[in-house]
Structures are given as C-alpha cells and as structure tokens.
Chain A
Amino acid sequence: MGSRASTLLREEEIEEIKKETGFSHSQITRLYSRFTSLDKGENGTLREDQVNFRGFMRTLAHFRPIEDNEKNKNPTASEPLNSRTNKLLFAFHLYDLDRDDKISRDELLQVLRMMVGVNISDEQLGSIADRTIQEADTNGDNSISFNEFIKVLEKVDVEQKMSIRFLH
C-alpha cells in the first residue's frame, strides 16, 4: 500500500512537505495513503473545500508534537506549524467562523452547542458563553481577540494538549 502511495507522490513534493511540516518520510507516505482513501472523488482534493494533500498535511502538522531538538534549533527561521502560537491560532480559527479575528458570542455559542449535551437550555448556554467571554475579554468589546485568547490560555499546556502521536 505504501509503495503505491509513494509512486503517486513525487519525491520532491515529499521533500517540500517534509520541510514545511516536519513530518518524516514514512509518515508522509502513510498519510498520503490515508488521504487517497479519504479522497472519494479521486481528484486529489477532499470534499467541497478542495483540500489538496498539501493543505491536508499542513492541517495535520499543527498536531505534531514538538520535539526537543526543534525547540532550540534556530529562532531566526520561520516558526514551524506545530509551534505553540500556531497551534493556538489553529484552535482560534475553529471558533472564528467568520474570520474577523474575533470570537463573538454567537460563534462561541455555536461551538458550545456542539459540545454540550442537549440537557443544557439555551439560556444556560448563553450565560456560559457570556461568562467565557468575560473571562477572556480585557478590552470590553464582548468578543475574544487572538491576543486575549493567547493570554487567557497562558497556563494551559497547549503543546501537549494539541498533539497526537502520529504513527510512522
């Protein structure tokens, strides 16, 4: 299976992805086979979003654990996709549905509604959302900006909580 995938994937492309995402060669080929199995239309993209393999890998790269040798490699280079800030940015964009760089109450409500059970009434959910925003909101605009988001999650071990171990 792996060999079939790697034949479809050009070697230089793998190198580029490797550079960009930090995945190893074997991981990339494995994920490519996964990608092709997800790709029902067999046109190199996923669903209506037109996610190609590069995008797919870029998204997954956010969840790669930070390795020790990466931490202090060279700070001048552009931040890897799995840095703390990028992980947080990814999480932030999950909320920020309209891409205005702010999490509004409605956006938060939508996410909350998806997560909590049906037993919580809309009012309760509303007050939960209000309170959540209050906790983060420092400038009083009733929404959470990315800076506020980073600040309020300062103590959370994002590096660990937003990482999974990818198989080789």
Chain B
Amino acid sequence: MATTWRSALSLYMLLLMVSRGLSLASDGNKIEPVDTKQDTRSGSHGEAASSSDSGSEVNVTLTTLPIVSWKWEHVSEPYLVALWIIVCWLCKLIIEANHHVTNVIPESALLIGFGFILGGIVWGADLAQTFKLSQRTFFFFLLPQIILDTGYSMPNKLFFGNLGGILVYAIIGTCWNAASLALSLWGCQKGGAMGDLDIGFLQYLLFGSLIAAVDPVAVIAVFEQVHVNEVLFILVFGESLLNDGVTVVLFNVCDAFVTLGGSKINAVEIIKGIISFFVVAFGGSLLGFAFGILISLLTRCTKNIQIIEAGFVFILGYLSYLTAEMLSLSAILSIVFCGICCQKYINANMDESSVNTVRYAMKVFANGSETIIFVFLGISAIDKTIWVWNTGFILLTLFFILIYRFMGTFILTWILNRFRLVPIGLIDQVIISYGGLRGAVAYGLAVMLDETRIKEKNLMLCTTLIVVYFTVIIQGITMKPLVTWLNVKKASVSEDSLIEKVQNKVFDHMLVAIEDISGQIGHNYMRDKWNNFEDKWLSKLLLKPSVRKNRDNIFAVFHRLNLKDAMSYVAEGERKGSLEFIRNESAFIDFTKKFDDKFSEVMSDIMADTSSHYNRGSSMRRDPVPSVCLEVHEQAIKGMNGVEDSHHLLQQHLYKGRKQHLHRYSRSNFSVNTDENEVQEIFQRTMRRRLESFKSAKMGVAPPKKISKHTKKDQQQKKPNGNSADKCKSYHSGDEDFEFSEADSANGYDVPGSLPMRVTYRAGAGIENPTFMPDPDPTASMHIPPWLADTEVDSSIAAPSQRAQVRLPWTPSNLRRLAPLRLSTNSTDSFMLPEAPATQQRGNEQQPPSAPPPTKRHM
C-alpha cells in the first residue's frame, strides 16, 4: 500500500516537474520550430541557424534600450540539453529513493519506464516526438565516457586471465548470433512466416549484426545488482564490452555489403570484409594502447599542473575515441583499451587527489550518461512514425535471439571448457546466456540505418526497440530471481588481509615454478614473463621515478591496512582524548597543527575541571594580551638573572615582531607568510639569545614553563571571540615551538620519548606534552586551576614564584593578590590594571615593520 502510494506521489512530482520543463521547451518550439527540427539531424547546424536568427531579430526590433529582454532562442539549445539532463537525473533520484522497488525491478528498466512517461508527455505537448536519441549524440557524447569508465575500472588481472574466453564469446559468439539470426529470419521469410517484406538476405545480415551485441550498459546495470561471482561477471561484462566493438565493425562491413549490392559481392569482397573486420578491431585496440601509453607518459610530467592533470585522462580518452572513429577503426575498442592500459600507470603517477578526482568524475559522467541513455530509450519509443508492426518478424526475432544466444553460449563454452582450468559450470552458462541483454548500442546502430537502401528501416528500428525493452525489462527483472533460484555462486565479500595477499603472491610464484618444472608454457608462465617485461621496461618508461621505487603490491596492501588502522585509531583516540603522544617519537613534524589540536583537547580538559571556578571570572579576562606568556618568560629571566640586555634584545625583535604579526594576522590570514627569511632569522636569533641567557641562568625551568603553559591555556580558553583565539593560538604555537627547541638544544631535560604512550597521557591528564613536562611532578596536579597552581608554587619555591607572575609581571606585590583576585567577581579594576601598560605598549609598537610571525616556521 504505502509503496504504491509513494511511487504514485513521486510519479506525480515528476510529471509536474517535467511538464514545467516542457512548457518551456514547447515555448521554444513554437517560437522557433526550425531549431528543433534540425536538432535531430545536426546539432551544429541548428545552433548556427538559431544564432543567426536571434542576431537578426535583435537588429530589427531594437528601437529603444531594453532593460531586460526575453532571449529564449539565444539559449534554447544548451538550455534544453541541460534541462533534459536534469530531468533524467531526477528520474534516477526518484528511482533510487525507492529501494523496495529497485530491489525487484532493475534501475535500467525503471528508467526506461520513466522514459515512456516523459515521451508520452512530449508527444502530448507537440504531437510529434521532438526529442529523440540521435545516433550522433549517442555515439559522440553519451557512449564514450561509459566505455572509458568501464575500461578504466576494469579488473585487469581478471580480465586478462579470462581474455581467451571473453574473446571467444565476443568475436565468435557475436558473429554466430548475427549469422544465425539472419539466416533463420531469411528462411522464415522465404517460408512466408512474415508476410510481404522487402528485405534481402544482406539486409537481414545487417539487422542481425546490429542486434547481435550484448550491451555493456544494460549488462552492468543488471549484473551490478545481483553480485554474481567475479569470473562470471568478468565473462559477461568483458564480452559485452568487446562485442560492442565487434558488432559495430560487423555492422559497418555488412552496411558496405548492402551498399555494394548482392551482385557485386564475390569471394574477394568477402575476404576483404573479413580482413577489414580484424584490421578495424585490432587497429582500434592498438590505437587505444597507444593513447593509454600517451596518457601515462603525460601524467609523468604533470606535477606542476596538478590541478588539471585529471582532465588529461578524459580528454585523451575521448581523443582516442574520436581518432579511432576518424580512422574508421573501432572507437569502442580503442577507448576500452585506452582505459585498461593507462589505469595502472596514471593511478601511480598522479597525485592521490587527482586519482580520486578521475575516479569520481568518471563515475559521474558514466552514470549520468547511462541514465540519460535509458530514459531516452524510453522516450524514443513514443513516436507513432517509427512503429511498424509485424508480428511475425518481431516475435521471431525475439525467439531466435534467445535461442541462439543459449545455443551459442553452450557450444562455445563446451569448446572453452576443454582448455580452461576451472570449467564454466552449467548454471553459469545459463546466466551468461540469459544475461545477453541488448541495449542502446543496438538502437544507436538501428537509427543509423539508411532508409533509402533499407526499405524496412522502421520495422527494424521498432523490432530493435522491442528487443531492447524485452531484454532489459523482462530479463532484467527475472535475472535476480533466477540467480537466487539457480543458486549461482555469489561474489564473496572478503576483507583485505595481508596474509591473503602474501599467500596469493606465493601461489603465483609457485604456479610459475611448477609450470617451469613440468616444462610447459601455460598462462602463469606467460604472465610472469609479462610482469618481468613490464617491470623492466614499461614501468621505467611510464612511471615517475619516485613512484617506481615504492611500488610493491604487498607493501601497498600493508600501507593501506595501516592507513585504515590509523583512521580507526584516530577516531578511537579522539573519543578517548588527545593523540598528542605521537609527538614523542617524531619531534619535527608540523607542530603548529598538533598544538592546535592539543590545545583544543587541553582546553576541554581544563574547562571540565575548573568550569565551576571561573565561570564568573572569565568575563573579566576576555581580553588578555596574547603575549603574556612571553612577558612572563622575559620577566622571569630578567628577574632571575638580571640579564637585562637579553631582555632588551628580545623586546626589540621577538616581542615587537609578534605584536606586529598579531595585528596583521587579524586582518588577513594569508599575508603572513611573506618574508620567510626574516622570520627565520629573528626566530633563530631570539632563540639563541634566549638559550644563552637560559644556560647562564642554570635554573630549573620546568615549573615556570608549566605555569606559563597553564596561563596560556586558560587564556585561550577564555577567549570567546574566534579571531582573537586564533591569534592567540598561532601565537602560542610559535612560542611553544620556541620553548621546545630550546629545551631540546639545551639538553636541560631528558625528553621522555621512551615513555609508553598511555602512561604519558595519563600522567599529563590534559597537559601531557612530555617535552614540556620533563620531570613529571606529582604534586603539581593538573587538575588544579593554573592560578591556584601558581600560588602553590609561589608559596613553596621562591625562584619560580617570581617567574610565575603570570599576568602581573610588574611588581611581586601584585602577584600576591593575583590568585584570589581572579576568582573574585569584583576584581575587574585591579585585574585590568596591569593590562593597561601592556596594551599601551602594544599600541606603541605597531609601527616597526620587521618581524613577521615566527609561527610560520613550520608551515
């Protein structure tokens, strides 16, 4: 009940949509009927006509300046194309939204059904079928991307492993289908089963050849949903792919024969036909290989134009198609082998994001045009002019197609099985036969038929349509139950595991060895030879040197598995806390990023711990000077050692620079990186300076560092406003980086890199960077709010207490009041007091031009 209602609703929606679209379209038709008439014949011609028309119109009617004008003719053609594309895709959207329907009826059949409806609407509006799938549109704009996609995503090993079978089915099977159908129909006509028809034997042959081919589009659409085992899939799929090429070649040869006429055909012509068949097929394949190599070579050197390197694949693939068409070779075979040949190399050569782009864009194009093809197959049917009914012809064609498909498959498989290691079972043979769906290629070829030479073109066309509908809809729907009923071995979904990969490789090597020992040249031996050849020559030629190095199957799997683990690890880790411990082992990766991450973690920790304390206090600390911690350090050093000059130096370089940076950073995020050298220089100078003063001090610096960190953190946390938080963050990261390298080079601490990760993390409980906590001090519990910690330290140790004058470095007496004041609500005045000079100072120091931020050092 519900399902029918929903589908009815969706249908209604679609109708609404389409009729709206069509009212536009029919407007266009009324205004300019010439355009749509030409549309079916030649796109470019129509376009030229329309543009010249609209141009003259503008010239004539322009009497006053129009503010806006209605220019439908101006855009009609691309507009209609876009409109039809969106309508087709919306059909797919609706279909895919109803899973219970697609579970029973394959998508392709539903799309054809939608096409019927749309065609009915168009017919109702125009009383003629103005929109038809022209063979030009189909072969030039819809088919190439589908074939390229199938070639590009072809499982190579499987394909070449079964190439013998595929070729036999594709070439011999197709020829058998064509010839047997032609003969039988001709015989039936002679026997008088189809009434009075003006079709000669050659024309039957032509018809047989166009309808012989299994269509890859239809086959994939159906077989993808039934998940049969991979060998069966590759057999059906590979056959359908290659026999498209074969059938086009066959069609062309037969077409030439028909043109020549029966009397002129002698043995020489037939032999020439056969030769041409092979030349066209293999020439097309070779051309495809050449283009595939070209793409691979090209992607070797597209490092600098990474943004468009993905485009090369498409454009060169398309060019291979067009070139083959130009040379009257098999365009379909050309683009298939182009995709098959280049996939491995371009996937290795291109940047990973480009590979993903290719992969997804390919799917978008292929799926998109597949949808359009099916919808238009449906639309094309709603046209009174093409329908010529001849019961005998149509039914006999259907019958013979089914019968000969089964016969051909069984005979060929019987021959094949004598040579196959794993024979094709009876059930698989049934599925292969039953999966012989005809599709758009047959229709496209039928449209190509020349009416002047073939009197019964329309009969052939509508028979083709009926065959397509019958196979796609009826066989498509029954395919799934049949697969279940026959208990066809389904594809096993196995997880990637390293040991399987290793073992498979061992098996391969083993088989090669055994073939070698037993002294026979089997296909394992050939594959090994090919692999060696490829390793030695092809990959040297086609792969980037950098890629060539780390291209090992097992290692790739290992890498992939590790990546997967890392992903789940991050997910898990983030749920439990921070992942900062990674820094223990790799000290020089991008710090800024990690610090940011860590800060957010830490912030939440502190927030949780102390939220009750400083909910109120936060309001007054909303505008802390981001550089406070620096002040702290400077002040601390100064206070400790009286090294006045170092302090001055720091003030001159680092301090001002940072102020400057902060100012600029707040305005434009990207102007920061400008003079790297200066950044480096200042950074190093200040660092050295600080290090010297630090060494001379010879003081335990850990506690103040900790404290300063606290300060930073809670400052950061208090920032409600994202911009200043950003400032603060970047600032801090720079500072911490600084501290870190200092600590490192000073050898003041032993970096507990060897500590187990978990332990470090727990001990840290929020502030866990071991480099900053060189001697884990159990007394300084991190759960104590920073300012409380300050006072604690203050009361216990004299020297660090001075350094710990976090916010009020000016006088020690201020510090005494600090902790309680911060927690009190009334402390605004006394709290703000020390801030005043700092802000003042900042204001003064804005002018100095130097010193871009040290933050960027690691970026």
A residues contacting B by CB (< 8 A) are 31, 34, 37-38, 60, 63, 65, 91, 94, 111-112, 115-117, 119-120, 124, 127-128, 131-132, 135-136, 152-153, 155-156, 158, 160-167
Q: How far is the CA of A7 from the CA of B241 in the complex (A)?
A: 51
In the complex with contacts A117-B552, A124-B555, A156-B500 CB distance below 8 A? yes
Residues of A within 8 A of B502 (CB): 111-112, 115, 132
Is there an interface contact between A165 and B421, defined as CB atoms closer than 8 Å? yes
Q: Is the CB of A60 within 8 A of B500?
A: no
Bound Cα distance from A119 to B547, whole angstroms:
11
B422 and A65 form a contact (CB under 8 A): yes
List, in ascending order, chain B residues with CB within 8 A of A111's CB: 502, 506
B252 → chain A closest CB, angstroms: 38
With contacts A116-B554, A119-B549, A119-B552 known, is A153 near B499, CB below 8 A?
yes
Cross-chain contact A155 with B507 (CB below 8 angstroms): no
Please state if B504 and A60 are interface contacts (CB–CB under 8 Å).
Answer: no
Asked if B520 is at the interface (CB within 8 A of a chain A CB), the reply is yes
Q: Which of A60, A158, A162 contacts B517 (CB 8 A)?
A: A60
On B, residues with C-beta under 8 Å from A are: 419-422, 492, 494, 497-500, 502-507, 509-511, 514-515, 517-520, 522, 524, 549-552, 554-555, 558, 561-562
Bound-state Cα–Cα, A65 to B511, Å: 12
Indicate if the CB atoms of A91 and B554 lie closer than 8 Å: no
**Which of A34, A37, A128 has most B Cβ within 10 Å?**
A128
Q: Quick check: A132 and B514 within 8 Å, CB to CB?
A: no
Residues of A contacting B522 with CB < 8 Å? 164-165
Nearest to B507 among chain A residues (CB) is A161
Q: Are B498 and A164 in contact (CB under 8 A)?
A: no
Q: List 29 A-B contacts (CB under 8 A).
A: A31-B518, A34-B519, A37-B519, A38-B517, A94-B506, A112-B502, A115-B505, A116-B554, A119-B549, A119-B551, A120-B550, A124-B558, A128-B554, A128-B555, A132-B498, A132-B502, A135-B498, A136-B499, A152-B499, A153-B499, A155-B494, A156-B500, A160-B421, A160-B422, A164-B421, A164-B511, A164-B515, A166-B518, A167-B520
Separation of A112 and B557 alpha carbons in the complex (Å): 14
- Measured CB to CB, the closest approach of chain B to A25, in angstroms, equals 16
Listed residue (B503, B505, B514, B555) with the most chain A CB atoms within 10 angstroms of its CB: B503
- Across-interface contacts of A31 in B (CB, < 8 A): 518-519
Residues of B within 8 A of A132 (CB): 498-499, 502
List 12 additional contacts besides A38-B519, A111-B506, A119-B550; criterion CB under 8 Å: A91-B510, A115-B505, A119-B551, A120-B552, A120-B555, A127-B558, A131-B558, A132-B499, A156-B503, A162-B510, A165-B420, A165-B522
Q: Which 3 A-B pairs have the closest CB atoms?
A: A34-B519, A161-B507, A155-B494
- A115:B497 contact, CB within 8 angstroms: no
In the complex, chain B residues whose CB is within 8 Å of the CB of A155 = 492, 494, 500
Q: Knowing A111-B506, A135-B498 touch, does A164 contact B555 (C-beta < 8 A)? A: no
B510 neighbours in A (Cβ, 8 Å): 63, 91, 94, 162
**Chain A residue, CB-CB nearest to B497:** A135
CB-CB under 8 A from B550, the residues of chain A are 119-120
Cα A63 to Cα B507 with chains together (Å): 10
Is the CB–CB distance between A131 and B517 below 8 Å? Answer: no
- In the complex, residue of chain A having the shortest beta-carbon distance to the beta carbon of B522: A164
Closest Cβ neighbor of B423 among chain A residues? A68
Partner of B555 from the list A91, A116, A136 (CB cut-off 8 Å) is: A116
Query: Contact: A115 with B555, CB < 8 Å?
Result: no
List of A residues within 8 angstroms of B518 by Cβ: 31, 34, 60, 164, 166
Most chain A beta-carbon contacts within 10 A, residue among B511, B519, B550, B551: B519
- Which residues in B have their C-beta under 8 angstroms from that of A63? 510-511, 514
Q: Shortest CB–CB separation between residue B152 and chain A, in angstroms?
A: 26
Q: Is the CB of A131 within 8 A of B561?
A: yes
A153 partner, pick from B419, B503, B549, B551, beta carbons under 8 A:
B503
Given A34-B519, A112-B554, A131-B561 in contact, is the A162-B499 Cβ separation under 8 Å? no
For A117, what are the chain B residues with a Cβ–Cβ distance below 8 Å? 551-552
